[in-house]
Structure 1
């Protein structure tokens, strides 16, 4: 297995990915669409095209992107898209979801070595799925019934909104949040707009900010933010999720809480600059 890495806040250049694919024969090309730890967005469409060009299976980790960032799995040639229920899908945590292409299914059926992970072995799940399609009873394990019902409801709401409208709403939310953060004089971990995710943002703290006091102050305003996830930069940035059913009022409340917390922790800025950007984009 070969791992390609980029500097924090950026993506691996497509030229480097293609160069690696040229260097030897690979079976799989795996990548994260939106990196949860840095709020960086990969170019899934172009990576899918490289997978098709070099005849490798492409696997997209869409935990922070599915139902928030645009994905055209079939058109882009992505073989497997994986996600979880608790992010932009808008369901409580507990479900692992995936969609596999015919190419991926065929490759699995032709494999000669056993799957090492029992839970992840499609051999256990495929009979259940096929029985469901045929409206027949089949059993592998007790399903998370409440979560499956919640998933159905969430998918109905997603389709009612319309995928194009949903993707556009997330694009506007992402742009609005990044504009608000920059208006407050803060930098972002992502290097530029092209690699910035629309489902979450990762602003850098101001210099000498008491990070624990800041997050506590935000929490007291009724908003919960996540701290930094990268060990080497844990106290240098925080993360804001804006995915799923997030609307203008949610964004205003979040930015307002950030502005208040910054002010209360000694950061000098004009109140209202961030919220003005949210209103401008919505």
Structure 2
């Protein structure tokens, strides 16, 4: 089936936040989003976490709990959670400054950059803050941005850019696919774009975008254009070679494949992107998200010098330090291979059940999550509670066009890298039994 892609011009106002809330609120129940009805999350079983002195099924010291296999937040390693219990300390004291500095340096290794002018940022906030950092600092009002859309979160990034005054064109692919290079090249030749944004893995569809060839094409056709990657659902599960692929920015968050509790916006920008910021004609229309306010702070911390603009979260930084230390203890190539291995296992099981993926082309399928269509006879609102009773939590659909038709299975981080865990096998069995309990039998 040919890709159906179109460029959509930005409207003068951002999308309706109430509509977004309706979609988001149903993602655990799979309820059909509606502007007239609210999703009732109380229909799912109560998610109690009874603290017990006995170890849980995977010998973890955590209280027994349903295994969280949504596309983030993910299950966390015990050592990461224990890092959160670090005693209170000054955010400008020598101990914390050393930890934060090491954390920033480790991020360079995770993103695979050795360029001295690349700049990491770790700021309290969610992954969404990364969009604000990009939109407020790297684009000025009226400048053109091309957004490559593969789902809900790509479109949300476009909305954020519009808020800060960017003139946004969206190259939108049909559900489950991604814009193709010839279409992108044609758009880049049609006008001068300050920036191209691409969502590496759109969490709403599980569509994986290819970065290396995209970067090569952008540099060839429009070398001054910045290439910015939303890597919220890809960093630490998909290979990202920041320097080798000449990326200009990658924004992500702590709670997905990195494996740290939510609360940190993490990003890396190239020297070219930082130069673009410094060349602005007008100051950024933000205070907390301003690179002007944060760049020197990050540079000082990485140099192990105390610095202050706004108070960081010492406990979360300790947790991130632990998570990164674990990730970097082995070659990154092994980590990415393990995610591919488990992804293949999940997708094989999904196919054997007679289910289809939202991302139909294997080349477009993420390795840290799988979005799968349900049989016509099965509703997400029936299946998800059955999975929960089996001790597994999946996410419902969130893409506006297909929200009630699919569910999402996250398989990243310790659920695939820790050999002592059986999270994925447990989830596959729960899915088989849940579908059967819903009356589904493969034809």
TM-score range (shorter-chain normalised) is over 0.9
Q: Does residue 166 of the first structure (1) align with residue 339 of the second (2)?
A: no
Q: State the shift of 1:117 in Å.
A: 2.4
Q: Deviations over 1:223-253 (max 9, x none)?
A: 0000000122111000000111123721100
Cα pair 2:185 2:218 within 8 Å, conserved: no
CA root-mean-square deviation: 1.3
1:253 counterpart residue number = 426
1:62 counterpart residue number = 231
Higher relative contact order, structure no. (Cα contacts within 8 Å, ≥ 6 residues apart): 2
Cα pair 1:128 1:140 within 8 Å, conserved: yes
* Structure 2, unpaired ranges of 5+: 1-167
1:149 counterpart residue number = 318
Q: Deviations over 1:108-150 (max 9, x none)?
A: 1111121122222101101211221332221111101111100
Structure-to-structure mapping, 1:1-282, within 5 angstroms: 1-53=168-220, 54-55=222-223, 56-247=225-416, 249-269=422-442
Tell me the distance in 2 between the aligned counterparts of 1:115 and 1:159. Answer: 35
3-state DSSP class of the match of 2:171?
Answer: coil
Cα pair 1:205 1:236 within 8 Å, conserved: yes
Cα pair 1:174 1:200 within 8 Å, conserved: yes
Q: Deviations over 1:44-95 (max 9, x none)?
A: 1112112322111100000000000011011001100100000000000000
3-state DSSP class of the match of 1:108?
Answer: helix
1:279 counterpart residue number = none
Flag the structure with higher helix content.
1
Tell me the distance in 1 between the aligned counterparts of 2:422 and 2:347. Answer: 16
Cα pair 1:263 1:269 within 8 Å, conserved: no
Tell me the distance in 1 between the aligned counterparts of 2:305 and 2:317. Answer: 18
Cα pair 1:80 1:104 within 8 Å, conserved: yes
Cα pair 2:178 2:209 within 8 Å, conserved: yes
Tell me the distance in 1 between the aligned counterparts of 2:434 and 2:424. Answer: 15
Cα pair 1:40 1:196 within 8 Å, conserved: yes
| Count of aligned pairs | 270
Bigger drift between 57-66 and 247-256 goes to 247-256
Tell me the distance in 2 between the aligned counterparts of 1:31 and 1:260. Answer: 37
1:274 counterpart residue number = none
3-state DSSP class of the match of 1:82?
Answer: strand
Q: State the shift of 1:269 in Å.
A: 4.3
Using structure 1 for the length normalisation, give the TM-score.
Answer: 0.93
Cα pair 1:33 1:61 within 8 Å, conserved: yes
* Structure 1, unpaired ranges of 5+: 271-282
3-state DSSP class of the match of 1:83?
Answer: strand
Q: State the shift of 1:162 in Å.
A: 1.9
Tell me the distance in 2 between the aligned counterparts of 1:176 and 1:202. Answer: 14
Q: State the shift of 1:161 in Å.
A: 2.7
3-state DSSP class of the match of 2:228?
Answer: strand
